């Protein structure tokens, strides 16, 4: 089974920002927030979900989104933001990292879907669709939603910025540990992280959170969700994380819980 990843990138972002002059920072922050909001709405409406990679680039889990879906989103976003060009590179793979690399090479090799649109695909993506409207079968997404166990205790000891430095150290460690599993980790804000994981077993997750505890003295709770699409997998992972909290309230301590919707 495979996963489909789409890399969404603002084209010519650097030169465009320079046109705004030196007093541009607030304008850029407002624009980036609005663009993210618009894109997240468009993708989530189609049962996908996106994350910031950099502020000029986002990564989406786009299982089930056809080539026509991508073209439709590109048209919608270009209509809203007429002064910028948005490109999308689509890739598939058995692991999230492999799908990400396939998407990267679609763009690097200039494999445009057509010359008038900035949508990059390769032959493998083309073969998944007998026509532009048919959703691909045989895909699934495994998502790991992590948060800090009893984070209130930590926040009572440290100031907000000290907490941030601690969170970033954990984030850095999670990136390194999960990239070894060909998985991709994103920081969601607060004390939450989300990993596009697909081939990571519960035993491997247990080993990773044990390493975090050994190095950072921080316990992590981990909800694992598996579903056909990105948005549904995220929903299952968050429901699994909520289950861990509910069990804790009942005096039952469990740091990993999995929900499968396939």
Tens of pLDDT, residue by residue over 149-166, are 866 666 667 888 988 899
What is the SS3 assignment for 9? strand
Q: Does domain 141-260 have CATH number 3.30.70.270?
A: yes
pLDDT band at 57 (very low <50, low <70, confident <90, very high): very high
Task: Give the start-to-end residue ranges of the domains of the chain.
Answer: 3-127, 141-260
Interatomic CA distance for residues 190 and 188, integer angstroms: 7
Residue 2: DSSP 8-state: B
Residue 178 is predicted with a pLDDT of 98
- Whether 3-127 shares its CATH topology with 141-260 is answered yes
Tokens of 68: 């026509």
Contact in structure between 88 and 119 (CB atoms under 8 Å) = yes
pLDDT band at 134 (very low <50, low <70, confident <90, very high): very low
Q: Does domain 3-127 have CATH number 2.40.30.170?
A: no
Q: Give me the sheet containing 192-196, strands edge to edge.
A: 184-189, 192-196, 141-148, 220-227, 256-260
Interatomic CA distance for residues 109 and 119, integer angstroms: 12
DSSP for 44-55 reads HTTT-EEEEEET
28-37: long-range contacts, CB 8 A cutoff, minimum separation 24 = 32/56, 35/10, 35/77, 35/81
Q: Which helix (H) or strand (E) holds 137?
A: none
Interatomic CA distance for residues 1 and 95, integer angstroms: 9
Entry pTM: 0.93
Residues 6 or more apart whose CB falls under 8 angstroms from that of 66 comprise 129, 132, 133, 134, 135, 136
Segment 217-236, tens digit of pLDDT: 999 999 999 999 999 999 99
Segment 235-256, tens digit of pLDDT: 999 999 999 999 988 999 999 9
42: alpha, beta or left, given left = phi > 0 and alpha = psi -120 to 50? Answer: alpha
Residue 167 is predicted with a pLDDT of 92
């Amino acid at each position: 089974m495979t996963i489909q990843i789409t890399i969404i990138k603002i084209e010519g972002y650097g030169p465009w920002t320079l046109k705004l002059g030196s007093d541009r920072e607030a304008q850029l922050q407002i624009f980036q927030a609005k663009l993210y909001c618009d894109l997240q709405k468009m993708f989530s409406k189609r049962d996908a979900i996106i994350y910031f990679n950099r502020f000029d680039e986002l990564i989406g889990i786009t299982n089930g989104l056809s080539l026509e879906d991508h073209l439709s989103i590109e048209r919608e976003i270009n209509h809203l933001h007429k002064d910028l060009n948005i490109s999308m590179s689509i890739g598939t793979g058995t692991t999230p990292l492999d799908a990400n690399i396939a998407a990267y090479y679609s763009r690097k090799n200039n494999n445009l879907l057509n010359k008038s649109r900035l949508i990059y695909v390769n032959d493998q993506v083309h073969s998944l669709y007998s026509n532009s409207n048919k959703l691909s079968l045989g895909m699934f997404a495994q998502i790991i939603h992590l948060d800090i166990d009893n984070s209130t205790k930590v926040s009572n000891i440290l100031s907000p910025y000290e907490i941030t430095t601690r969170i970033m150290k954990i984030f850095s460690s999670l990136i390194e540990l999960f990239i070894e599993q060909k998985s991709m980790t994103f920081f969601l804000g607060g004390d939450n992280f989300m990993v596009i994981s697909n081939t990571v077993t519960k035993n491997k997750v247990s080993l990773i959170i044990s390493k975090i505890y050994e190095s950072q003295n921080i316990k992590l709770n981990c909800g694992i969700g598996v579903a056909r699409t990105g948005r549904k997998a995220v929903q299952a992972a968050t429901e699994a994380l909520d289950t861990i909290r509910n069990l804790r309230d009942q005096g039952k301590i469990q740091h990993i819980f999995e929900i499968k919707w396939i």
